[in-house]
Amino acid sequence: MGQTLNRAASWTAASDVGKGRLEFTPRNEAILNSIIRFVEEFPLKHVKESKLVFKLPLEWETSLQASEFNFGGYQSIDGSVVSSEVNDKTGKPLFSLTKKDIGGNILHVWTIEQLVTVLKVAETKKLREARACLEANRDPLTKILGDGYATVEGEDMTLLRLMESIIKDETEKARGGSVSNSSGRESTPSKTSLRLLMLIQQLDVQLLNDSIKLMSKEVRLTPDVVAAQVQLVESLSGQDRNKYLVESIEYTSDMVNPQGFRTPLWRQVHGDICYLKARTFDKDNIFITANISGVYEIQGFQDNGDMNYDRIGEIHRDLISFLKAKSSVFAENLANQDFTLYTVGMADASGNESGLLCSDGSEPSTPKLENVKVSVEKDKLQKQAVNKNLSTKAGSRKVELSAKQKTPIGDENQRSASPKQVQAKRGMKTKPVPATWQKAQLLAQDEGTLSPSDRLQKASATSRRSTHGKAPPSEVMSDSSSESEEEEGTHDRRQESSDLPSEYWQIQKLVKYLKGGNQTATVIALCSMRDFNLAQETCQLAIRDVGGLEVLINLLETDELRCKIGSLKILKEISVNNQIRRAIADLGGLQTMVGLLQDPNKDLKCLAAETIANVAKFGRARRTVRHHGGITKLVTLMDCVPLTSAMTPEIEKEVKVARCGALALWSCSKSRKNKHAIRRAGGVPLLARLLKSAHENMLIPVVGTLQECASEPFFRLAIRTECMIEDLVKNLSVKNQELQMHCSLAIFKAAEDAETRDLVRKYGGLDPLVSLLANNENKDLLAAVTGAIWKCAISRDNIKKFQELKAIELLVGLLHEQPEEVLVNVVGALGECAQVPGNRAAIRKAGGIPPLVNLLTGTNQALLGNVTRAVGACALDPENMVIIDRLDGVRLLWSLLKNHNPEVQACSAWAICPCIENAKDAGEMVRSFVGGLELIVSLLKSEHHEVLASICAAIANIAKDEENLAVITDHGVVPMLAKLAQTNDDKLRRHLAEAIARCCMWGNNREAFGEAGAVAPLVKYLKSPDEKVHCATAKALYQLSKQPNNCITMHESGVVKLLLNMVGSSDDVLQEAAAGCISNIRKLALANEKAKYSS
């Protein structure tokens, strides 16, 4: 018994002072019960031994009261002390119960017989008494038989000693013959005590055996227990150190044998169940071995990839206690949640009455822990839901609705152990799905970009979810795993279920198999899922709504090639849906897919790239791809064998990989930073190489990528230098409208550069472009082609070519009934063509003027800009002007000055200039516009140089009419022009000088300009490199020099020297103006001298 108590029974930590307490563990309970049974049966079997008087009484504090011993054989002394009537030889009572000072009673017992009585009296409190007794008498044998029999470590000699003493007695007795009675009397108790000792030791051995059996049951870990614990910890892993216990935990191997072991056979011999890799918040990767004998840390993977199975540190009972010891954050977070556990535990215990034997929370804690986790998770979810509600005020009703309904789903994920278990078995990384899922939902709903039909879909999806409960009976049967949560959500889900398509339930079933099956079942389920019409939105959303997306994405992280391929095949098809795309991105699918781009399997690479191409249709996804190094990997995919070699199946596959890479890059290249990333990754030469391919399906993504990237100057340069123009032009003649369109778009964007425009002509690209104008059906193509023509027409040489090809007539024909995208480009092209005088007449003859003027009433800013330019260019031809005037075009142009777009303002003002120049009776016309002159003067306050320059040009033209000049002078044009004189912009300088020159013609404007300080800055204009500025400035200075004060200012500014240079100019106007100015200054000087002499 002593050995058992010492070894097997677990004492609480306070036991070091000798006054320890027995822990409430099932094992201790079993020991106590055995001891009680032993004691109770003892007097019946061994009458003599039970009466043996102990050397010292067993003494303990009891909860029994004196009054309970009021039956025969016991006498009560003054109600507090009870003693037995049976006394030993010395007259001591064999039993006594005395009251302690503090309260409570002390029992003294001398025989086992009396012990039995005590136990009888105690009845239900037996266990407690026994425990108290053993706690007070840690080694009962010393009390019973004396100190010589204390339990000692190592060899126990007591029995031998006792035997020897008995044998000695016996021999003495034999020697002494039948001598004294006393010796005989003495030998009897020693024999009795021997028997008692042996009996007790027998009990001890038996107890030890029993507890070892119990212990071994507890300590041995089984694969099931380990799997359950890993799954538990896994479900509590995540990034947030405040919420989760560990960052991540995963198996190092996915192979599971039927017994649940995940270790190589030769390690199973050592009892290793599995190896785990965990990231705690305190320490990075820890490699853990779950052995049958316990959990411990091992060295883990070495640099050479081999596993080192050497143990580090001690063995722990299970995974939880191991992590508790390893990670303080784990212990801390566990403690927080343990608090809840204890309350739950207590509640259980109180209901359990026994009280004494409630679990101490350490041993069988696992199942309860899980319980608590669920409740904690639930709390979290609810909190999240509340937060979301607060943060999204707009449309909060809707959000609230969905949040409410998502909560049970979160539970579903927590509750139904099956999917988790499977995922754990497959070694997947499970994520805290509910939170992200919910977020995804909410994000999707908050997105303002959803079209009304999308919203409708969303609503129906929600209602679909809400009808989950009322399935046809057969469906419920097949779905029995989720029965528990079915009940929870029933009340708010029971709504019209009839409108749910049958696919929904079938897909739900398949997703269940995906979750709960091994790779074989998964592949069958994946293949069956592909039989659904995945292009249909109901199916796409059904997969999402039943939680299929998470599973599909999780599958991508497994090692099973076929599962990955099957999953991607589905993801590829359903990701055409905008909502699915976002959900995939939210669930972190892109990161995984980017990782798969490096897989050695080509099919897998292709599928991953194609899916990325579908998902990366919105900015956030494109950014994710870039951040995870996806662009570089995609560019690498395009690096395939030269396309010229013969097509074997092997090469064909490589070409397909390259195509898929280009496809994904095309999607990604819509972001500016991605374009740069493509260049940095060396994508340009690869694109150039693939552009030489003869396959349309390869060319489309390549050209598509090129045309997206061509918006960046560096890429335009690359397109030119890598000789891609030639290929682009060549592909214009390919009979594929999509390809033609992308080529045209690429040329449209690349032709911003003059050299590129020349190259297009050089490679004969203008002919196919013009011939494509005949295609009136495909508006996208038409827009792209007209755009390319527009940009190409910026080069004069190209215009000549267009003239030859009669492009103008074709373009004019396109001015009718075309979408705005086409019109913008057509008008832009006409505007460029009209810069060449001959074409203006051509436009008129083709009947282009009236539609152009009509377009002035439009609202599209880009279109208006081009139209005003075109009309302005046409107005340079007097015959055109007649038509424009007749159509009241000038008034329309003038009203466009009020447009808030500065570009349109400038273009209209420029267009007005030739109109005034060429219109008959222009002065009268201008005056007829009510408020027109005031408007134009007020535009001198604009901040845009282009607008200012154009307005100055217009004012210069308006001021030719004296009456109008008078009006604008009244509107204060002089000080406003003077204020602009400080500018450095040559274009503005030129037109400003022009305007000043004209405005000098009225009243005392010359003096006014001088006073406003416009003269000195004007002199500086003569230093400008632009000759046109010189000419205009000279004219202005000539006009201003007619006023003596201005001459003085000019002279002081050193104008003479500058003008003297101008006199030698080849430009007559400049020459004359400069000479006139100098002459005026000279005249003033002469007059001055004359005045001096005369005085």
Instruction: Give yes or no for residue 373 binding another protein (CB under 8 A).
Output: no
In the complex with another protein, the residue whose CB is nearer, 280 or 482, is 482
Instruction: Name the token pair of 690.
Output: 């693939």
Q: Which residue number, 463 or 528, has a Cβ lying nearer to another protein?
A: 528
Q: Which is nearer to another protein, 264 or 878 (CB)?
A: 264
- What Å distances lie between residue 682 and 218, 663, 728, 756, CA to CA? 62, 17, 20, 22
* 171 lines the binding site for another protein (CB under 8 A): no
Contact 583, 551 (CB under 8 A): no
| Strand ranges (E), 302-407 | 307-316
Contact 434, 414 (CB under 8 A): yes
* CA 269/CA 251 separation, integer angstroms: 19
Nearest to 752 by CA among 788, 780, 802, 723: 788
Q: Does 517 bind another protein (CB under 8 A)?
A: yes
Tokens of 146: 């004396």
Counting contacts by CB under 8 A, is residue 483 touching another protein? Answer: yes
Q: How far is the CB of 630 from another protein (least distance, A)?
A: 23
Choice from 239, 418, 533, 776 touching another protein (CB under 8 A): 418
Span of 88-96, 507-515, 533-541, 884-892 interacting with another protein by CB under 8 A: 507-515
**Cβ-based neighbours of 1075, under 8 Å, separated by 6 or more:** 1063
Kindly tell me which residue out of 516, 768, 914, 932 binds another protein, with binding defined by CB under 8 A: 516
Among 171, 518, 721, 1079, binds another protein (CB under 8 A): 518
Q: Which residues contact 772 (CB under 8 A, 6 or more apart)?
A: 732, 740, 744, 781, 782, 785
12 makes contact with another protein (CB under 8 A): no
144 scored as a contact of another protein (CB under 8 A)? no
In the bound state with another protein, the residue whose beta carbon lies nearer, of 413 and 798, is: 413
Q: How far apart are CA 1055 and CA 1077, in angstroms?
A: 9
Q: Is 308 helix (H, G, I), strand (E, B) or coil?
A: strand
Site for another protein in 936-975 (CB under 8 A): none
Closest separation in Å from C-beta 570 to another protein: 11
Contacts 24+ apart (CB under 8 A), 385-388: 385/438, 388/438, 388/442
Contact call for residue 224 and another protein (CB under 8 A): no
- If one asks whether residue 222 binds another protein (CB under 8 A), the answer comes out as no
CA distance 324 to 772: 74
The least CB distance from residue 373 to another protein, in Å, is 20
Choosing from 53, 197, 320, 422, the residue that interacts with another protein (CB under 8 A) is 422
Give the helix/strand (H/E) hosting 789: helix 779-792
Radius of gyration of the chain (CA): 50
Residue of the chain from 1, 207, 295, 523 that contacts another protein (CB under 8 A): 523
The reply to whether 265 sits near another protein by the rule CB under 8 A is yes
Does 528 bind another protein (CB under 8 A)? Our answer is yes
Provide the H-helix boundaries in 919-1054: 922-928, 932-938, 945-958, 962-970, 973-980, 986-999, 1005-1011, 1015-1021, 1027-1040, 1044-1052
Instruction: Find the binder of another protein among 33, 257, 1079, 1088 (CB under 8 A).
Output: 257
* Cβ at position 526, least distance to another protein in Å: 7
**For residue 275, what is the DSSP state?**
E
Cα 388 to Cα 840: distance, rounded to the nearest angstrom: 63
Q: Work out which of 600, 642, 1025, 1064 binds another protein, going by CB under 8 A.
A: 600
Q: Does residue 297 sit in helix, strand or coil?
A: strand
Where do we find the tokens 């556990």? 341
| Cβ proximity to another protein, 519 vs 1065, nearer residue | 519
Could you tell me which stretch among 252-260, 767-775, 790-798, 1054-1062 binds another protein (CB under 8 A)?
Answer: 252-260
- Closer by beta carbon to another protein, 417 or else 862: 417
Looking at beta carbons only, is 478 or 1079 nearer to another protein?
478
Binding status of residue 285 toward another protein by CB under 8 A: no
CB atoms within 10 A of CB 885: 20
Closest among 624, 553, 559 to 589, alpha carbons compared: 553
The enclosing H or E element of 205 equals helix 181-219
Residue 72 or residue 258: which is nearer to another protein going by CB? Answer: 258
306 is an interface residue for another protein by CB under 8 A: no
Q: Which is nearer to another protein, 34 or 253 (CB)?
A: 253
Give least dist CB 523 to another protein, A: 5
CA dist., res. 747 & res. 929, Å (int): 43
**Interface with another protein, residue 521, by CB under 8 A:** yes
Which amino acid appears at position 581 of this protein? R
* 1025 contributes a contact to another protein by CB under 8 A: no
User: Which SS3 state, helix, strand or coil, does residue 421 take?
Assistant: helix
87 three-state secondary structure: strand
Instruction: With contacts defined by CB under 8 A, name the span among 13-21, 328-336, 414-422, 884-892 that binds another protein.
Output: 414-422
Q: Which stretch binds another protein (CB under 8 A): 360-368, 427-435, 526-534, 937-945?
A: 526-534
Contact map string, positions 551 to 590, toward another protein, x by CB under 8 A: --------x-xx--xx------------------------
d(CA 1058, CA 1073): 13
Min dist. Cβ of residue 566 to another protein (A): 5
Least separation in angstroms between residue 419's CB and another protein is: 9
Out of 6, 519, 536, 983, the residue judged to bind another protein by CB under 8 A: 519
Q: For 423, left (φ over 0), alpha (ψ -120 to 50), or beta?
A: alpha
Contact 587, 436 (CB under 8 A): yes
The pairing of strands 95-99 and 81-84 is antiparallel
Structure-token match 């408007």, residue found:
935
The count of chain residues that interact with another protein, using the rule CB under 8 A, is 39
For another protein, the binding residue among 138, 406, 425, 840 (CB under 8 A) is 425
Cβ at position 267, least distance to another protein in Å: 13
For another protein, which residue of 125, 470, 509, 602 counts as binding (CB under 8 A)? Answer: 509
Chosen residue from 196, 256, 785, 852 binding another protein by CB under 8 A: 256
In contact, 581 and 593? CB cutoff 8 Å: no
Does 513 engage in binding with another protein (CB under 8 A)? yes
- Between 79 and 649, CB nearer to another protein: 649
Nearest to another protein of 98, 421 (CB atom)? 421
**80 sits near another protein (criterion: CB under 8 A):** no
Nearer Cβ to another protein, position 451 or 502?
A: 502
Task: Decide if residue 252 touches another protein (CB under 8 A).
Answer: no
| 72 lies in the binding site for another protein (CB under 8 A) | no
Binding status of residue 225 toward another protein by CB under 8 A: no
> Please, what's the largest Cα pairwise distance for the chain?
184
Q: Does 304 sit near another protein (CB under 8 A)?
A: no
Cα(1062)–Cα(102) distance, rounded to whole angstroms?
125
Q: Put the strands of the sheet holding 294-301 in their side by side order.
A: 248-251, 272-279, 286-291, 294-301, 307-316
Q: Which is nearer to another protein, 140 or 517 (CB)?
A: 517
Give the SS3 label for residue 461: helix
Binding characters for another protein, 442-481, by CB under 8 A (x = yes): -----------------------------------xx-xx
Q: Which residues bind another protein (CB under 8 A)?
A: 255-258, 265, 418, 421-422, 425, 477-478, 480-481, 483, 509-510, 512-513, 516-521, 523-528, 530-531, 559, 561-562, 565-566, 600-601
